[in-house]
Amino acid sequence: MSDPILVLGGDGYCGWATSLHLSAGGHQVVIVDNLSRRRFDTELGIQTLTPIASIEERVAAWQQVSNRRLGLEIGDLCDWDFIADVFARYRPQAVVHFAEQRSAPFSMMDRGRAIFTQANNVIGTLNVLFALHEFSPAAHLVKLGTMGEYGTPNIDIEEGFIDIDHKGRRDRLPYPKQPGSWYHLSKVHDSHNITFACRLWGLRATDLHQGVVYGSSTPELEGDPRLVNRFDYDEIFGTVLNRFCIQAALGHDLTVYGIGGQTRGFLNLRDTVRCIELALLNPPGAGEYRVFNQFTEQFSVVDLARRVSDTASRMGLTPRIAHYPNPRVEMETHYYQACHTSLLTLGLEPRYLDDETIQALIEVGIRYSERTNLFTIRPTIRWCQDSTQADAVATRRQ
Amino acid sequence: MSDPILVLGGDGYCGWATSLHLSAGGHQVVIVDNLSRRRFDTELGIQTLTPIASIEERVAAWQQVSNRRLGLEIGDLCDWDFIADVFARYRPQAVVHFAEQRSAPFSMMDRGRAIFTQANNVIGTLNVLFALHEFSPAAHLVKLGTMGEYGTPNIDIEEGFIDIDHKGRRDRLPYPKQPGSWYHLSKVHDSHNITFACRLWGLRATDLHQGVVYGSSTPELEGDPRLVNRFDYDEIFGTVLNRFCIQAALGHDLTVYGIGGQTRGFLNLRDTVRCIELALLNPPGAGEYRVFNQFTEQFSVVDLARRVSDTASRMGLTPRIAHYPNPRVEMETHYYQACHTSLLTLGLEPRYLDDETIQALIEVGIRYSERTNLFTIRPTIRWCQDSTQADAVATRRQ
């Protein structure tokens, strides 16, 4: 390999797994991270279920296990001097960009965190775009967006663009976005900014609108205890399926928000790392901005709860599904049909959710049960302070 | 009147005219401004064609002329302590929000100004939304957006939303946005954020997607020389029709960018102030986010140049239309048909562009000719540093 791939946010849940997967595949990988995810844990009194090593220990362990070197640059994308220096030194062939505040509940905690989320994500990404333009204009930007950018429209969700027939004319236009948190909005802002940068400067970008990721591991992560990935189960950073499995392991209620009819796209962490690699191996042309919807299956929240409950029961546990007042402003039953063929066309072979995967996740919860703090699971961050208003708004939208 | 109307950005071109119009109409008006528009002039070595008084002199003069008092608060929307204090003290019934960096060329000058524009506009507006939620949740937010949010789609532009039939289903969704500068992008980000705040907190907002404003005055501005409005003709803050008239007055080429087929919506400043008032007098319901396209006529740039040239010739001047390399990344010929019926339905009686208006603008240029600096007119801010790339990109989009 010649020029390296920068993995921005390479110390995070998806970023660390991706860094190792790309390194194992023979790519020269440089992790760029400000370690803010670890700082959030400290500030919020939460922690990853799995004990993770420092980034320096991780990099050293990977070199011992694989004999491959990971570059490491500690710094903040919002610091132009830092990012310009990194891009100027490495002149990357590609940039995988995970480096954003990625929790919707975090962004809904208070005004300060709402503004932090939008400023951090939007300005960081703008700096990446300017750095690409200045130092690596032919590099491929693989940006992590979210399926949550689309919201829950009453028509099929396409991959980034939609052909619209209107008053006898037709155009292919950006798919309308209806995000449901200050965090999801930051991703929509990014998508618009990246689209413009491609048109303006001829940059090339793949915007991966990713679904909800579940799973704790990939083959690369299993080579050494110091390589273990972080695993979040709390109400702020935990995603729904992972959280249900930990709840089942610990005898905690499976916390379904409201009716649980919220349907979303999901994928295994093992497919995440493969999707990133497929995007990298098949770059878009100069000036092209493309969107891939990155998920493999749709589930409703209550369906997932039942799946976890069934598996847990077979394991001899006594899981209980409980419906909590929904802290979010969202529809609890709605149409949902989202296209996700681009990555399949490029060769993705999905690893669909099976009992074995659910059982493995429950076993993670059992193994690390002494590290859990049940108080961090229960939803306390409300989208509206007045839940009556939230119910009314959600009802009005149905 | 009971509770006041805050006019954020009330010292600017549209903001000052609106403040006086609302005050003359019997509303209790408080101007909130950080005077950044005056600071940009100083920093960039440009100035308003018309000599404007300080904001304190303006407010004093208006009190002498009209016997009406304008409130005045000097501070920055990005300063939460300031904006929270203002909202807590006034508990406004409505907020008219002009207070953003509003020049596309300014946002395209360099990375610093691109990021300043997005951070300033997005964070300032987020603070306004949080202040409304906390201190005046029933107040009506009248926000200045821009027709430039839509770009130039190949189908008719509707007012904020579009009914889409797709694969046998139908939904009314936000109209897709294709903005053409970092500034226009900031307005798109705002629109998404405001939409969410209305859904989340039940705020009520009117997002005025305004066209290009022309004109130098309104009746209220003519009562005293100290009330005179600012008038920008430079390449950064000058808008196209105003600039053509000044060019004609001074014997400068009328600077058409490229072919000049760029078609946009336009309106007279006298209609701007009336549109704001109509929106205020007809507020939306709680939780409602609505968009009005605020312009009265469509023109292509080269058509406007010809209109100005014809009037100037009749005045005995010798205008010349010159086609300059287009510094922007935009299509120079394209379909453009934009709906703008909402404000007409509310009672707007448009003041269409006529020779008298053009002549009055040319006379402004003649009157203040000794204050002009022709070097500030010529386009030097290029969307791309490589104009070949800009041409190629624009061609590719056609």
pLDDT in tens, B265-314: 999 999 999 999 999 999 999 999 999 999 999 999 999 999 999 999 99
pLDDT in tens, B349-379: 999 999 999 999 999 999 999 998 888 988 8
Cα(B369)–Cα(B374) distance, integer angstroms: 10
Cα(B282)–Cα(B305) distance, integer angstroms: 36
From the list B227, B222, B220, the residue with the least C-alpha distance to B53 is B227
Please determine, for residue B389, whether its predicted confidence score (pLDDT) is greater than 70. no
What ipTM does the predicted assembly reach? 0.96
Size of interface A-B (CB pairs under 8 A): 147
Closest to B167 (Cβ–Cβ): which among A155, A167, A178?
Answer: A155
Q: Write down the pLDDT at residue B378.
A: 85
Residue of B50, B117, B146, B376 marked catalytic: B146
Please determine, for residue B398, whether its predicted confidence score (pLDDT) is greater than 70. no
Q: For residue A6, what pLDDT band results from cuts at 50, 70 and 90?
A: very high
Decide if B140 contacts B206 (C-beta within 8 A): yes
Q: Do A393 and B202 touch (CB under 8 A)?
A: yes
Residue of A18, A177, A187, A336 marked catalytic: A187
Helix B55-66, helix B13-24: angle, nearest 10: 20
Q: Do B287 and A393 touch (CB under 8 A)?
A: yes
Q: How close A312 gets to chain B, by Cα (Å)? A: 36
Residue of A146, A218, A263, A311 marked catalytic: A146
Q: What is the residue-averaged pLDDT of chain B?
A: 95
Tell me which chain B residues have a C-beta less than 8 angstroms from the C-beta of A169. Answer: 154-156, 335
Q: Do A166 and B155 touch (CB under 8 A)?
A: yes
- By C-alpha distance, the chain A residue nearest B186 is A189
Tell me which chain B residues have a C-beta less than 8 angstroms from the C-beta of A383. Answer: 200
The tally of domains found in chain B comes to 1
For the segment A191-208, the average pLDDT, to the nearest whole number, is: 98
- Domain of residue B95, residue span: 5-396
Tell me which chain A residues have a C-beta less than 8 angstroms from the C-beta of B174. Answer: 176-178
Sign of the C-alpha dihedral computed for residues B35, B37, B43 and B49 taken in this order: negative
Rounded to two decimals, the pTM is 0.96
Sign of the C-alpha dihedral computed for residues B161, A104, A107 and A142 taken in this order: negative
| Torsion of Cα atoms, B384 then B388 then B393 then B395, to 10° | 140
pLDDT in tens, A105-116: 999 999 999 999
Per the annotation, the verdict on A183 as an active-site residue is yes
Select from B155, B158, B163, B165 the residue whose CB has the most chain A CBs within 10 Å, as the one to mutate to test that interface: B155
Per the annotation, the verdict on A146 as an active-site residue is yes
pLDDT in tens, B183-213: 999 999 999 999 999 999 999 999 999 999 9
Query: Residue A142 is part of a domain; what is its CATH number?
Result: 3.40.50.720
Per the annotation, the verdict on B143 as an active-site residue is no
- By C-alpha distance, the chain B residue nearest A198 is B393
Reported in sequence order, the residue ranges of chain B that DSSP labels E, i.e. its strands, are 5-8, 29-33, 70-74, 94-97, 140-146, 161-166, 169-174, 204-210, 212-214, 254-257, 263-268, 289-294, 297-300, 321-324
